[in-house]
Structure 1
Amino acid sequence: MFGITRSSASRGRGTTAKGITLLYAQILPVMAIVCLFPAIPKLFQHFGGIEHAAIFIPMIVTIPSLFLAIFAPVAGIVSDRYGRRVCFTAGMAVYSIAGLVPVLVDRLDMIVASRAVLGIAEAFIITVSSTLIADYFGERRHGWVSWVGISTSIAGTLLIIAGGALADISWKGPFFIYLLAIPGFIMTLIFIDEPLKSNTESSGTIQPLGFPFKIAFLIGGVTFVASIVYYVEPLNIANILSAAGIESFSTIGVIQALTTLPYILGAMLYRWLFRWSIGNLLALAGLFIAIGQIVIGFAPHYIYVSVGACIQQLGAGMVIPALLAWGQSILPFEQRSRGMGIWATAFFTGTFVCPMLVNMVEQAHDLQKAMVVFGFIAMALALLSFFFAQSQKMNAVNNKSHAAQKGQ
């Protein structure tokens, strides 16, 4: 079914087995965060008497993303220099070990330290797996990056449910979920090899005369802003539903799960529209996100909140595939990992900054008004993306016209 990656026919080329392995790897950073959400009260019960517990316990959840953001560019540089496979395999191995440390120890400082190491491993996993999708599949990458959004959305929902069930047993329970990293490591050893440069499309890439910092930081800047807007709804929708009158946490969880279904539709929509320019794709995604967040902000009842969340998630499902594919296509093979490292840093820094920015607006008004504010910010970004796409289109037409005139 999957084919044998080690055969000469598939060596260095994209196969279904390699694609599934890379999708599996993309889920791991999500697992590092969401499976522990339900365990936070249990962690406070167990470690609450320790000095500075109020600081260290939340860090168990957040510190992997922080270290991912810091070390992703390093992972990209090392991967471009020493090879994709060795860096990816090392990242998967370290992740498998570091994730299970809290199962074996009962010291808060050691758990926090292991989570920092986990974040470094994630930096290599997310950077190199994003790079390998483009390296292996070239123009076929669009289908695979859409599956990144679909698989992480479904996995996130299932992991929250599993984390809650295991947290009812013990504070250590959710950490046993990291056993799921071991099959991913085995798949890596079996299927992942060093990609062939010839797999990647040559048109539209920058020749490696030096690292294209201007383009890489453009991608990073757009990704940073998009990440902030992207996370406003998922990080705050539970509180808004609670304020709208839903008292049952299980009911809130069910509504959240149902409102993520349009996310999958958004990822599929990207698959149909991937030939659009990045400006037009982000404009459409931003429009859905803006409308959804504004509806949530003005919603008088949880039913309308849910409708707004569905609209927002439709746009959110397009964002990650569009940004990933953009970065993958515009950077040359020799420098793609470094570019993807910058992309990962930008995205996860946005994740880290988003709650603080929302909290600032919420303190001045309230959470629903904050949703409206960020909705209008998303609308402005959508318009900027659209006008950028139109200007790029006009420039292309003018360049073509000038070239035709010179040829006459």
Structure 2
Amino acid sequence: MKGWITGKFGSFVRQYRGTSMNSLEKTSLTDAPQWSQRHRDWVLLFASMFSLLAGAAVAPALPAMAAYFSHVPNVGTLTKLTLSTTALFIAVGAGPAGWLIDRIGRKPVLAAGALITGIAGTSGAALDSLYLILVSRALLGLGVACVVTSATTLIGDVIEPARQASFFGRQTAAMKFGGILFLLLGGALTTLSWRAVFLIDLLAFAILPGVLRGFPEATRRAVQPRARLSLPWRNARVLAPVFATFACQLFFYMIPTQVPFHLATTVKAAPMAISVAIALNLVSAALVATQIHRMIQWLGARQVYALSLLTMALGFGLIGLGDSYGVFVCGLLVAGMGTGTIFPCAAAGIVSVVGEAQRGRVTGLLVMMAFAGQFISPLVLAPLVQSIGIGQSFLAAAAALLACAVIVPLWLSAANE
């Protein structure tokens, strides 16, 4: 009896108060308490949805916000910056967040990111200065960077290797469906007040209990606290997926920024019809993303990249050549099939290439380039649209995607030789 009690007490202490140095060497993030295993997947998926929280939720409130701050010079530009500023600071913050994840651990960065997201995001409901709201959206971007980078890193840590591709597909689906959900919720709250939309960021606090209780920290650095953590910058199995993700996001962002104008001018589509068309693109991407593990198993990663980029090119070609609402919808559905598979394939690939000690920074690089593509897209493609028009710009993007469909698989092939 004494031995049994001593064993149980020792197990309790190790679980809730830490372990000895020898135990730390054996500890893994996969050693989560049994009671948390059914919940941690949902915590990670919910945290991943925050990548769409910043932009999708606030977008419906922009006209009302611009009207309230009509006395502010350049109010139109400044209100639109409330979206792009967040994307910029997610890209800026993802790299440092990845470094912190590898240095101090996943859980502290994820918890701090959730706190920053909740506090900075909801502050917009009380601030009465457009400039201060912009500052709060920048801080929100840093918080979201910590949350999404930590969550993606944790997937590589706590999910068994055989399930990782499938789970990254579910993560992408959660992001897409989250975008639709937050867009609808933001529109509903905007009918009450443009300030009410910022209260959606209170959802960030909901993940804190799951983060604090469901993820034991693997303190690898306790074994080698001063080890120099080199990063495989020249590894094509890291760089090629990151490049594919950047290209995907660069061109994907043409859909929410250019398709509404293209549909309105070409087929005189009503606002609701435009919203349905873009929502179908997100649904298509989400559904295909859930099958990424089967695609990788059947085709292999190189072929998945080639097929995804070719599918995006086909969809963009249909959008560029379309002359009816039905053709545009078909193009958006096809393009969604391509965009939905690239990020989960890239994430699954890079977490399997690098060790746990490097995983945070490599994941930070992936998240950074994804959001950099979103931020750069309007800056790079707006002059092209002004020069040759929206339709021709989609055709040019289709040609660039065809080139990427050749470059990425060849790049990966060279790495395997």
Partner of 2:193: 170
1:327 pairs with one of 350, 353, 363? 350
Q: Does 1:188 align with 2:211?
A: yes
Unaligned runs of 5+ in 2: 1-14, 19-26, 221-226
1:257-297 C-alpha deviation (Å, 9 max, x unpaired) = 23332212321331212234432111010011000000110
Partner of 2:146: 124
- Partners of 2:359 and 2:111 in 1: how far apart? 18
Deviation at 1:175, TM superposition (A): 0.9
- Partners of 2:104 and 2:280 in 1: how far apart? 43
> Does the CA contact (< 8 Å) of 2:229 and 2:358 recur in 1?
no
Q: Alignment partner of 2:253: what SS?
A: helix
2:288 pairs with one of 258, 261, 266? 266
- Partners of 1:68 and 1:351 in 2: how far apart? 10
Deviation at 1:389, TM superposition (A): 5.2
Deviation at 1:208, TM superposition (A): 7.8
Partner of 1:75: 97
Q: Structure 1 residues 366, 145: CA separation in 2 closer, same or farther (over 3 Å shift)?
A: same
Deviation at 1:233, TM superposition (A): 2.7
> Does the CA contact (< 8 Å) of 2:166 and 2:291 recur in 1?
no
2:360 pairs with one of 306, 314, 337? 337
Q: Does 1:40 align with 2:57?
A: no
Q: Give matches, 1:103-122, under 5 Å.
A: 103-122=125-144
Q: Does 1:384 align with 2:404?
A: no
> Does the CA contact (< 8 Å) of 2:248 and 2:339 recur in 1?
no
Structure 1 window deviating more from structure 2 (14-23 vs 133-142): it is 14-23
- Partners of 2:274 and 2:40 in 1: how far apart? 36
Unaligned runs of 5+ in 1: 1-5, 198-206, 396-408
Deviation at 1:45, TM superposition (A): 0.4
Q: Does 1:305 align with 2:328?
A: yes
Corresponding residue pairs, total = 382
- Partners of 2:192 and 2:342 in 1: how far apart? 37
Deviation at 1:392, TM superposition (A): 5.8
Normalising by structure 1, we get a TM-score of: 0.87
Deviation at 1:340, TM superposition (A): 1.1
> Does the CA contact (< 8 Å) of 1:46 and 1:171 recur in 2?
no
Deviation at 1:388, TM superposition (A): 4.2
**CA RMSD of the aligned region, Å?**
2.5
> Does the CA contact (< 8 Å) of 2:56 and 2:183 recur in 1?
yes
> Does the CA contact (< 8 Å) of 2:173 and 2:286 recur in 1?
yes
Partner of 2:234: 214
Q: Alignment partner of 1:115: what SS?
A: helix
- Partners of 1:133 and 1:71 in 2: how far apart? 19
The amino acid of 1:12's aligned partner reads L
Deviation at 1:42, TM superposition (A): 0.5
Q: Alignment partner of 1:194: what SS?
A: coil
Deviation at 1:217, TM superposition (A): 4.7
Q: Does 1:240 align with 2:251?
A: no
Partner of 2:29: 12
Q: Structure 1 residues 98, 284: CA separation in 2 closer, same or farther (over 3 Å shift)?
A: same
Partner of 1:202: none
1:162-201 C-alpha deviation (Å, 9 max, x unpaired) = 111211221112112112222122322232321487xxxx
> Does the CA contact (< 8 Å) of 2:262 and 2:390 recur in 1?
yes
> Does the CA contact (< 8 Å) of 1:136 and 1:195 recur in 2?
no
- Partners of 2:183 and 2:229 in 1: how far apart? 46
- Partners of 1:159 and 1:246 in 2: how far apart? 26
Deviation at 1:40, TM superposition (A): 0.8
2:177 pairs with one of 148, 154, 164? 154
Deviation at 1:52, TM superposition (A): 4.0
1:41-90 C-alpha deviation (Å, 9 max, x unpaired) = 00110012123433422221111111111121111111111111111111
> Does the CA contact (< 8 Å) of 1:132 and 1:195 recur in 2?
no
1:86-145 C-alpha deviation (Å, 9 max, x unpaired) = 111111111111111011222222211111111111121111111110011141211210
Structure 1 window deviating more from structure 2 (369-378 vs 182-191): it is 182-191
> Does the CA contact (< 8 Å) of 1:277 and 1:389 recur in 2?
no
The amino acid of 1:56's aligned partner reads L
Partner of 1:355: 378
The amino acid of 2:408's aligned partner reads S
The amino acid of 2:354's aligned partner reads L
